[in-house]
Amino acid sequence: MSVGKSYTSAIVGIAIEEDHIDSLHDPIWDYLSDYQRFATDGREEITIQHLVTMTSGLDWAEWGISYGDENNDVIKLWLECDDQIACILDLPLVEKPGTYFNYSGGDMILLGEIVRNATGMDIDDFGGIYLFEPLGIDPPKWNRFDSGVVDSSGSFYQTPREMMNLASPIS
């Protein structure tokens, strides 16, 4: 399991606390206005909470598939998609949103785009200012797709010591 997904979810919580996002119960389409054409066939029911809990219902294949395998949907985003957000949202809905857990980097990437649209800042920049810097931690360096979309599914660089520093204020 990727720690980056936990960071992404925490940053979404901060965006709510800072009044950039109204609620976990908001439909994702409130923050993805350029992609309204995909809000069909049950996908219009997907909320931010469904993404945070990886229960969007989208047909995402990642868990149990090697990241060296081109059938892994994360790898497909890197190799086959010019618009990662559209590629994720175009996936068929195979479960009613909120009813079935499916480990999904795609859900996390959508959250990164929601944070960008809600705050006007990429998730890595927003997280740096509101999560990492207040704790005295250098923000991790996140990978970006060629399109500029931040891979907020966990593709970032941070040392184990930096990760320990994040936990220190909690203990």
Mind listing the domains of the chain with CATH numbers? 3-155 (3.40.710.10)
Q: Which of 63, 113, 65, 52 is nearest to 86 (CA)?
A: 113
Our measurement of the distance from residue 77's CA atom to the centroid of its chain's CA atoms, rounded to an integer in Å, reads 13
Residue-wise pLDDT for 127-141, tens only, equals: 999 999 988 888 888
* pLDDT tens track for 75-128: 999 999 999 999 999 999 999 999 999 999 999 999 999 999 999 999 999 999
Let me know how long the chain is: 171
Q: What pTM was estimated for this model as a whole?
A: 0.93
Kind and range of the H or E element at 157? strand 156-157
